[in-house]
Amino acid sequence: QNYCKPTGQIHDACCDYETVESVNEDLFGRLHELVAEPYFRYHKVDLAKECPFWEEDGSCMNRACGVETTDEDHIPEAWRSSTLGKLNRTSARTSSPAGCKEISDSDFCVLEDELDSEGVYVDLLLNPERFTGYAGPSSSRVWQSIYLENCFSPVPYIDPSRPSWEGGSGYADVSAFTGGGAGGLGGLRMGGWGEGEKRLMGSLAGPKDPTEEVCLEKRVFYRVISGLHASISVHICDDYLDQSTGLWSPNLDCFITRIGQHPERLENMYFTYVLLLRALSRAGPQLVQTLEATHAARNEVEGLRGLVSVAGGCPSTFDESTMFSGGKEAQDVRVEQLLKDEFKAHFRNVSRIMDCVGCDKCRLWGKMQITGLGTALKLLFSSDSEDGEEVVLSRSEVVAFVNTLHRLSESLAAVDRFRTLWAHRNDAK
């Protein structure tokens, strides 16, 4: 049995595995070089934020969970908090007193403010995403809570007088999820689900494949999370610590158990990559413009331009216009808007759950990648912002986006290496 050589069309995407793999062959080397450049390797992150949902007691004490931080003196001056602070006085975007960026309607993530005094600078190259040993109840709880965020109401339903989980059709009450007006910050509602939501969640928590029989938007939400989870697992298995020898190397059994035996996880990982690729080709000029406006070096701007042209030259990978576009009637438009608001509110909650990860290294990459995915969603779905608000990107968002693309790209390359290891093992039998 070949565990990891999928072929044919990727569900919910416009392309097949073979195309995506050939694009990745062109892209991976360029991305790998680009993320080693100063613009992309220094990142500011707050690793000390408290988990807003439960008391986190699962702090990972393994050495591999630690993060090596970088002194602000090593950061190019243009990106230091002190310099950004000066610029910020004239900037249109203001900072909230709590140190969190004022959330904009277009944001899919709760973004951290680069001026936040609590944050630390990290050189991503010195802190690779790899096996850390973080596992058990703490990590399971985080993953479980993240998957529960997929349980938003699949609108529209059929009968307004009956609740949705009984096959009724009332519109989803977005305020129940957002803790206020649509588009507001997701309310902290762990343990605060209404009866109906609990039942909806209960039905999804069963063995049924969550990607079946639900609307496209909800499937996409699930696939993106599952694809990220799969990519993290691939990195764990690809850079695995053999605790008996102290050596780091790929672990084929780890890969087979976590990914190879679950083709749907592999497919979701390809899907997540495809979505990021589409954001890169669609919003290329905007990404390049952000680099130019935030003191990137010329070779960094050219490197990004090169990536954009590779992504733009390949066949269409994902059609974002099929999402949040149920119809032209006023009622359809309203329903689609509600669905989009819910999607955003739930994705923002996933970004907050990242502060519950009990291993600093995992938290660093978890936060970074959720920000990267949130940036991709913002680029795909907010460029025609409903209220005419201009979509503005920060340096951290672009850094997160490019590094997340690199994580997924590297995972695809690692899958290819695992295929070879698998073939060698079979030949040796």
Q: Which residues bind ligand FAD (CB under 6 A)?
A: 129, 131-132, 134-135, 139-140, 142-143, 226, 229-230, 232-233, 236, 258, 265, 357, 361-362, 365-366
Pairing between β-strand 120-123 and β-strand 42-45 as defined by DSSP bridges:
antiparallel
How far, in whole angstroms, is CA 10 from its chain's centroid? 19
Is 334 annotated as contributing to ligand binding? no
Between CA 130 and CA 236 the distance in angstroms is 5
C-beta of 265 vs 282, nearer to ligand FAD: 265
Between CA 225 and CA 370 the distance in angstroms is 9
3-state SS string for 229-292: HHHHHHHHHHCEEECCCCEEECCHHHHHHHHHCCHHHHHHHHHHHHHHHHHHHHCHHHHHHHHH
Q: Which residues have a Cβ under 8 Å from the Cβ of 381 and sit 6 or more positions away?
A: 108, 320, 323, 324, 340
Catalytic residue among 15, 151, 356, 359: 359
Is 193 annotated as contributing to ligand binding? no
What sections of 127-171 are H helices per DSSP? Answer: 137-148
359 is catalytic: yes
Query: Measured from the CB of residue 354, what is the shortest distance to ligand FAD in angstroms?
Result: 6
C-beta of 160 vs 202, nearer to ligand FAD: 202
Write the single-letter amino acid at 205.
A
C-beta of 163 vs 366, nearer to ligand FAD: 366
Q: At what angle do helices 360-381 and 330-353 cross, to 10 degrees?
A: 160
Query: Measured from the CB of residue 270, what is the shortest distance to ligand FAD in angstroms?
Result: 12
State both tokens at 411: 């995972």
3-state SS string for 88-129: HCCCCCCECCCCEECCCCCCCCCCECCCCCCCEEEEHHHCCC
14 is catalytic: no
Is 229 annotated as contributing to ligand binding? yes
DSSP, res 66: -
Query: Measured from the CB of residue 100, what is the shortest distance to ligand FAD in angstroms?
Result: 20
Query: Measured from the CB of residue 422, what is the shortest distance to ligand FAD in angstroms?
Result: 19
C-beta of 233 vs 290, nearer to ligand FAD: 233
Q: Please, what sign has the CA dihedral across residues 250, 224, 186, 283?
A: positive
Q: Which residues have a Cβ under 8 Å from the Cβ of 164 and sit 6 or more positions away?
A: 153, 154, 155, 157, 170, 172, 196, 200
State both tokens at 372: 């990267």
Query: Measured from the CB of residue 401, what is the shortest distance to ligand FAD in angstroms?
Result: 18
C-beta of 40 vs 365, nearer to ligand FAD: 365
Between CA 414 and CA 69 the distance in angstroms is 27
State both tokens at 190: 């762990």
Is 406 annotated as contributing to ligand binding? no
Residue of 416, 426, 21 whose CA lies nearest to 238: 416
C-beta of 75 vs 148, nearer to ligand FAD: 148
State both tokens at 263: 């083709």
C-beta of 258 vs 352, nearer to ligand FAD: 258
Query: Measured from the CB of residue 134, what is the shortest distance to ligand FAD in angstroms?
Result: 4
CB 397 within 8 A of CB 371: yes
Binding residues for FAD: 130, 132, 143, 226, 229, 258
Catalytically annotated residues: 359, 362
Binding residues: 130, 132, 143, 226, 229, 258
